[in-house]
């Protein structure tokens, strides 16, 4: 049976209405839409775990000036239309801000809604240039851009003598922008990709990309996209008898969950600090203490990013006068300059929503941990 968009929206609103009675008038309601059932569900859930861990700990200590934070997370299955539907519901239910969205196409879809409502979307897992340059009102990024990640990967490859690089990409706005960034990075080094292969968005249909890489036999292959298709690509290329150096971006940092021991040796660019040892970093120390008290004590880059994003939201709320409004919070965010979250700084401005340009490269070990 076909369900109309209006009926689907009604169901979302009804679900939210069921939640609403458990919210006190003192709650600061934050809204999140993300893939909780599709190809990137494991990564989304881990990111949300990090956000909730920080907010729960903050609430236990009294919240923000006595007001507790309530995060309402809705599933969009990585479908941009569903993301828009969820966002409308969250805005209509008076969420103060939107936080931690996943997917370039998903975030692009909600920009008109965000701007019409005068609400901030704080932190998302897209590094797309189109969400940064030119400046997009209402979006406040935490992570470095995909361009920054790809430049770091190419620079490392060149440093160790790898110059023949092939690329497979998620065939959507995110993947195509990443491919443009790779082309630009290689062009300034007098080179270009030796092979390129698209992978349809939201699938693990990597056959064409595998064939393209097998024909070119590159020294390295960069995958621009999520972890499940990255895992399928790596398996497919190795099944052809090839062993290039594989690079993936931070959005695929959960690769081990999909590939197991075969992920060993894959280089992953990361956009937040190393979460496994604190090494004097205050926010990592704080993260480990909070996550270590949970039933699921697993440290990860995804939950570290979610934790940092929650800390950013809380820092902005602390600097915003009560009663809170969407406009006041946006004004506070625009005024953040070198906001220290504990060894990880964020800066915005009137025409700048970049946040951070931090990138570090890691390598996956057989057990799924990361070497630096």
Same domain, 136 and 152: no
User: Is pLDDT at 13 greater than 50 in this prediction?
Assistant: no
Locate the DSSP E strands across the chain.
28-34, 69-75, 97-101, 121-124, 139-140, 165-171, 195-200, 220-224, 245-248, 267-270, 339-340, 345-349, 352-355, 360-364, 370-371
- List all residues 6 or more positions away from 171 whose beta carbon is below 8 Å from its beta carbon: 198, 199, 200, 201
Distance CA(174)–CA(157), nearest Å, equals 22
CATH number at residue 253: 3.40.50.2300
Q: What is the number of H-type helices and E-type strands within the chain?
A: 12, 15
Residue 19: pLDDT band with limits 50, 70, 90:
very low
Same domain (yes/no): 98, 30 = yes
Q: What is the pLDDT of residues 120-152, one digit of tens each?
A: 999 999 998 899 989 999 999 999 999 999 999
Residues in the chain: 372
What per-residue confidence (pLDDT) applies to 26? Answer: 52
* Residues 191 and 242 reside in one and the same domain: yes
Average per-residue pLDDT for the chain: 92
Distance of alpha carbon 166 from alpha carbon 133, whole angstroms: 26
* Same domain, residue pair 179 and 107: no
Read off the pLDDT of residues 232-285 as tens digits, 9 standing for 90 and up: 999 999 999 999 999 999 988 889 989 999 999 999 999 999 999 877 789 999
Specify the pLDDT at position 11.
52
**Structural domain for 253, as ranges:** 146-270
Claim to verify: residue 117 and residue 210 sit in the same structural domain: no
Total domains present in the chain: 2
For residues 186 and 265, state if they share a domain. Answer: yes
For residue 12, pLDDT beyond 90 = no
Residues with Cβ within 8 Å of residue 323, at least 6 apart in sequence: none
pLDDT of residue 23: 38
Kindly tell me if the per-residue pLDDT of 38 is higher than 90.
no
Q: Mind listing the pLDDT tens digit for each residue in 239-248?
A: 999 999 999 9
Is the pLDDT confidence value at 22 over 70? no
> Does position 24 have pLDDT exceeding 70, yes or no?
no
């Amino acid at each position: 049976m076909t369900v109309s968009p209006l009926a689907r929206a009604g169901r979302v609103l009804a679900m939210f209405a069921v939640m609403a009675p458990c919210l006190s008038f003192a709650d600061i309601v934050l809204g999140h839409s993300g893939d909780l059932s599709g190809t990137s569900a494991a990564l989304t859930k881990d990111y949300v775990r990090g956000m909730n861990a920080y907010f729960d700990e903050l609430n236990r200590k009294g919240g923000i000036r006595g007001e507790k934070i309530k995060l309402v997370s809705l599933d969009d299955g990585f479908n941009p239309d569903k993301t828009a539907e969820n966002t409308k519901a969250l805005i209509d239910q008076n969420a103060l801000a939107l936080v931690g969205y996943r997917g370039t196409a998903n975030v692009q879809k909600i920009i008109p809604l965000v701007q019409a409502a005068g609400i901030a979307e704080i932190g998302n897992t897209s590094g797309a240039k189109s969400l940064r340059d030119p400046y997009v009102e209402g979006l406040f990024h935490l992570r470095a851009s995909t361009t920054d990640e790809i430049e770091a990967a190419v620079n490392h490859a060149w440093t160790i003598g790898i110059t023949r690089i092939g690329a497979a990409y998620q065939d959507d706005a995110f993947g195509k922008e990443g491919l443009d960034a790779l082309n630009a990075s290689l062009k300034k080094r007098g080179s270009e990709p030796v092979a390129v292969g698209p992978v349809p968005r939201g699938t693990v249909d990597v056959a064409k990309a595998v064939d393209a890489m097998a024909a070119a036999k590159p020294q390295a292959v960069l995958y621009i996209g999520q972890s499940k298709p990255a895992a399928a690509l790596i398996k497919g290329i190795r099944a052809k008898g090839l062993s290039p150096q594989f690079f993936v971006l931070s959005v695929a940092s959960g690769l081990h969950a999909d590939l197991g021991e075969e992920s060993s040796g894959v280089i992953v660019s990361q956009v937040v600090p190393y979460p496994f040892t604190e090494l004097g970093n205050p926010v990592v120390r704080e993260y480990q203490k909070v996550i270590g008290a949970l039933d699921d004590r697993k440290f990860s880059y995804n939950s570290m990013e979610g934790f940092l994003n929650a800390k950013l939201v809380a820092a902005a709320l602390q600097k915003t006068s009560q009663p809170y409004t969407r406009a006041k919070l946006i004004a506070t965010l625009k005024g953040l300059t070198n906001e220290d979250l504990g060894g990880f700084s964020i800066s915005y401005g009137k025409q700048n929503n970049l946040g951070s340009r931090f990138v570090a490269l890691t390598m996956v070990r057989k057990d799924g941990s990361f070497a630096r």
